[in-house]
Amino acid sequence: MKPNQLTLVSLDIKPDSITMPLNDTLTESLWDTVKNNSLNIILREPSLLELASRKDPGVIAYCDNLLRAEDQESWFTALKALETLDTYDSAQRLLVLCGTSSTGDRKIVLNVLARVLSSSQREGFRRLIRSIVGPGELDVTNWTTTALRVLEVVCAEKGIQVVDTAGLPLSNLEQYLQTSIFSGSK
């Protein structure tokens, strides 16, 4: 790798094979489980993710509480729930969180944000990614097309050449996206 290159990698991620079918569970029962603090957050997470997939409006407020918790499991669960929620408001919350997080945490949040980013959050994402991106390697698994386009523009502004894992330049990321395993729907 040359000193001024950013290599984009994407992993073929398989979803967890063990999931609890909660789609037939009443919303009230899911909230009872989520709010049961006697259960470890790992046991409450499937119910929260089901609520997020249903776009329940209470999920963001609950995630705010988890983000303020002292343990990492709660923090990561909140990120998963905000990603699963995949709404404008959840992406806005991730943008704010990314901007206020420490450098290490910012990279984690930025990666989650890039998987739900829509064009309306493009400018905020551009400012954030500009402060983080540099030569090296970047996992862009499941990033939206919008996030990848912003990355391409920022790299061009900073004089960083974007390459694939074989070291070949990606002068036209749009064309590359159509023929690669990178996926994004927004």
Tell me how far CA of residue 150 lies from CA of 13, 57, 77, 94, in angstroms: 23, 29, 27, 17
Average pLDDT over residues 81-105: 92
For residue 41 the two structure tokens come to: 């957050």
pLDDT digits (tens, 9 = 90+) for 28-87: 999 999 999 999 999 999 999 999 999 999 999 999 999 999 899 999 999 999 999 999
The beta strand positions in the chain, using DSSP E, are 5-9, 136-139, 161-163
Q: Which carries the bigger pLDDT value, residue 79 or residue 19?
A: 79
- Domain borders along the chain are 5-12+27-179
| Amino acid at residue number 20 | M
Using 50, 70 and 90 to split pLDDT, how confident is the model at 184?
very low
Tell me how far CA of residue 68 lies from CA of 61, 62, 107, 133, in angstroms: 11, 10, 18, 27
Using 50, 70 and 90 to split pLDDT, how confident is the model at 23?
confident
Tell me how far CA of residue 163 lies from CA of 28, 40, 152, in angstroms: 48, 42, 10
For residue 181 the two structure tokens come to: 């395993």
Closest Cα to residue 82, out of 44, 103, 109, 120?
Answer: 109
